[in-house]
Amino acid sequence: MDVLSDLLRAVRLTGAIYFDVDASSPWVGESPGTAEIAAAIMPGVEHIISFHAVLSGSCWAALADGSVPPLRVNAGDVVVFPGGAPNVMSSSPGARGEPNPIAMYYRPIDRNLPFALIHGGGGSERTRFVCGYLGCDARPFNPLLAVLPDILCARKPVDGNGGWVTDLFQLALAEGCSGRAGGETILAKLSELMFAEVIRRHLESLPEGSRGWLSGLRDPHVGEALRLIHSRPTEDWTLERLAHEVGLSRTIFAGRFSHYVEVPPMQYLARWRLQLAGRLLERPGVSIAQAGAEVGYESEAAFNRAFKKQVGVPPGSWRRSRMNATRA
């Protein structure tokens, strides 16, 4: 079981490329937070992550609130804003401008994405980059969102021989310009591939001793426990049994798991089951009792109590709100 892949499937990662930007110096573009534009760009999606992939040239990326120093982003690099915060891309560090109009964020019905934009002051230094979004579930449980920084940059491999995600974006955009069918879908899937690769690189760069769900994946004992939970979530796991399976005592395992994942093992299992149940609730014809039973709850009442405690509303109310959002 590949736990990271299982998580990305369960939280329904969905990509889209919206803008193909050709910018000439001097230039600056401020993107709003994804919460402001969510209903227009990805209706029905609970959480939206924004990203920019630089195809040629270089620029600077920053959070609009200035809480993090600007990052220089070069050709082949990808900068991701996991929390969907307002952000700034510019030809010089610290530059600010008027935020982009909200009206430019919409999903067209008479043309394909991405929108091609020419931007800037007409100078000789040019940068081309694509801007896109990744939708996913935040509830009932998405442990990845809590452990990612506000801004995350993945650098193009120095020893790469082609095939890095920005190279694939280049190819897909060139193909899209030729009018071939399916280009928008290919770019969307490349966005999802890009995000998975960015997360893998972030995981590999985490310092020893760091905490969080991703760090837990690297620990041999905690990583094995996560693999067991994700591969057999409905099994009758106990703390003692998980500890035995990973070769640790009950006390040491509980402390180690909680240190890395920052929740106790059985609490993590319960939350993950609710995430899976949330997916089941959106399937036509699946009752609340069936959804609870399929993830290991012996009674509908117990499932209702657990779901409301984690999500804040009963599963029936949550399902209705999700269905209404999707229809809208």
Q: Which of 180, 50, 52, 32 is nearest to 128 (CA)?
A: 52
Same domain? 31 vs 151: yes
| CB count in 10 Å sphere of residue 39 | 14
Final residue belonging to a domain, choices 147, 171, 205: 205
Do 98 and 138 belong to one domain? yes
192/229 same-domain check: no
How confident is the model over 26-47, as a mean pLDDT? 94
Q: How far is CA 328 from CA 43, 45, 47, 136, 323, in A?
A: 7, 11, 16, 17, 9
Domain match, 177 and 271 both: no
Same domain, 144 and 62: yes
Domain boundary among 171, 205, 239: 205
Q: Which two tokens stand for residue 155?
A: 């650098």
- As a whole number of angstroms, the distance between CA 325 and CA 39 comes to 9
Q: What does the pLDDT look like over 160-216, one tens digit per residue?
A: 655 688 988 988 888 666 667 788 889 999 999 999 999 999 999 999 889 999 999
Q: What angle do CA 294, 295, 301 make, to 5 degrees?
A: 90
**94 and 195 both lie in a single domain:** yes
Given 150, 173, 205, the domain boundary residue is 205
Which residues span the domain enclosing 316?
A: 213-327
Task: Check whether residue 189 and residue 264 sit in a common domain.
Answer: no
Mean pLDDT of 302-315: 94
Across 34-43, 65-74, 162-171, least confident range: 162-171
257 shares a domain with 145: no
The number of folded domains in the chain is: 2
The domain that contains 195 carries what CATH number?
2.60.120.10
Residues 6 or more apart whose CB falls under 8 angstroms from that of 121 comprise 24, 25, 26, 27
CA atoms within a 13 Å half-sphere pointing along the CA-CB vector of 13: 22
Q: Confidence band (pLDDT; 50, 70, 90) for 33?
A: very high
Whether residues 131 and 266 fall in one domain: no
User: What are the residues whose beta carbons fall under 8 Å from the beta carbon of 227, sequence distance 6 or more?
Assistant: 1, 3
Pair 198, 277 in one domain: no
CATH number of the domain that residue 226 is part of = 1.10.10.60
- The verdict on 303 and 180 lying in the same domain is no
d(CA 248, CA 82): 34
Q: How far is CA 17 from CA 39, 95, 107, in A?
A: 16, 25, 11
Residue 250 reports pLDDT greater than 80: yes
Task: Report the chain's C-alpha Rg in angstroms.
Answer: 22
The rounded distance, in Å, linking the Cα atoms of 186 and 130 is: 14
Same domain, 140 and 263: no
Per DSSP bridges, beta strands 14-24 and 126-136 are antiparallel
Paired tokens of 147: 């452990």
- Summarised one tens digit per residue, pLDDT across range 98-118 is 889 999 999 998 888 999 999
pTM over 0.95: no
Predicted local confidence at residue 228, as pLDDT:
98
